[in-house]
Amino acid sequence: MEKLIITVAVTGAEVTREKQPNLPITPDEIADAVYECYLAGASIAHVHARLDDGTPTQSYEVYKKIKEKIEKKCDIIFQPSTGGATWHTFEERMQPLLTNPEMATLSAGTCNFGNDVFLNPMEYIEKFAIEMKKRNIKPEIEVFERGMIETAIKLVDKGLLNPPLHFDFVMGVPGAIPGTIEDLVYLVSKIPPGSTWSVAGIGKCELPLAVHAILMGGHVRVGFEDNIYYKKGELAKSNAQLVERIVRIAKELGREIATPDEARKILGIRK
């Protein structure tokens, strides 16, 4: 089996310090948390920017600061969010792409997101894809529902996405696909041959889905964006603690961990 790519989603747009006291917020805190996760075995950093008071922002300047701080510390793949928070405008969501990251997320459809709606009409999806293609940024296609796979395939037919595609199944968001093993197996069965995939399980779905992904030959995303607990009733001490657990389990299961350069090879991305 391919080596395991571990993505860490250190902050997200929704989690607060009140809920997770160890949440990294400022560019320095985010870069430090990412570096700790890199040392633990993560090869991709999925990043959402925040203002110093914790408000989610899609500001180019803040993403640039975070990117530069991370790059000073290590060669982890920087993957900013074009999803932002549900209330960010399309124009705001575009801004992280101006930092020319190696990778970025591309959400492939609209869904309910708790009490909010995560809005991704075709027009947005195509414009994000066009911008990423222009800048040679590898899209990670975020799949919150099964139909989003079909949308990605349509974009390949239109010449806006280049296969092999890389999917991230975000499972267990209230209002979107549940985080069951059965649903994961179904999603994996529907992606085009030659694609790569990872899974980001929300909350208590994180660990069981991650373990199944390790066994199925997929890749794994963990971190405070998706889950703030180490186990039921016990908050995680850090993002790195969640990465360390995946590394331990993967090694026990005979799956080696990919370095950032090995992840680049697996995903076919330029440095």
Q: Using the rule CB under 6 A, is 118 a contact of ligand KMH? A: yes
Q: Using the rule CB under 6 A, is 105 a contact of ligand KMH? A: yes
| Options 80-88, 148-156, 183-191, 207-215: segment touching ligand KMH (CB under 6 A) | 80-88
User: Pattern of binders to ligand KMH over 26-65, x per CB under 6 A?
Assistant: ----------------------------------------
196 binds, among Zn ion, ligand KMH, none (CB under 5 to 8 A by kind): none
Whole-number minimum distance, CB 167 to ligand KMH, in Å?
Answer: 13
Q: Residue of minimal CB distance from ligand KMH?
A: 83
- C-alpha–C-alpha distance, residues 28 and 234, integer Å: 26
Whole-number minimum distance, CB 145 to ligand KMH, in Å?
Answer: 13
Among 142, 145, 206, 244, indicate the residue that binds ligand KMH (CB under 6 A).
Answer: 142
Closest to ligand KMH by CB, 51 or 253? 51
Q: Using the rule CB under 6 A, is 96 a contact of ligand KMH? A: no
107 binds, among ligand KMH, Zn ion, none (CB under 5 to 8 A by kind): ligand KMH
Q: What is the DSSP string of the chain?
A: -PPBPEEEE-S-SS--TTT-TT---SHHHHHHHHHHHHHHT--EEEE-EE-TTS-EE--HHHHHHHHHHHHHH--PEEEE-SS--TT--HHHHHGGGGG--SEEEEE-S-EEETTEEE---HHHHHHHHHHHHHTTPEEEEEESSTHHHHHHHHHHHTTSSPSSPEEEEEE--TTS----HHHHHHHHHHSPTT-EEEEEE-GGGHHHHHHHHHHHT-EEEESTTT--EEETTEE-S-HHHHHHHHHHHHHHTT-PBPPHHHHHHHHT---
User: Pattern of binders to Zn ion over 45-84, x per CB under 5 A?
Assistant: ------------------------------------x---
- C-alpha–C-alpha distance, residues 152 and 147, integer Å: 9
Would you tell me how many other CB atoms lie within 10 Å of the CB of residue 262?
Answer: 16
Q: Residue of minimal CB distance from Zn ion?
A: 81
Q: Using the rule CB under 5 A, is 99 a contact of Zn ion? A: no
Among 26, 82, 99, 238, indicate the residue that binds ligand KMH (CB under 6 A).
Answer: 82
Q: Using the rule CB under 6 A, is 152 a contact of ligand KMH? A: no
11 binds, among Zn ion, ligand KMH, none (CB under 5 to 8 A by kind): none
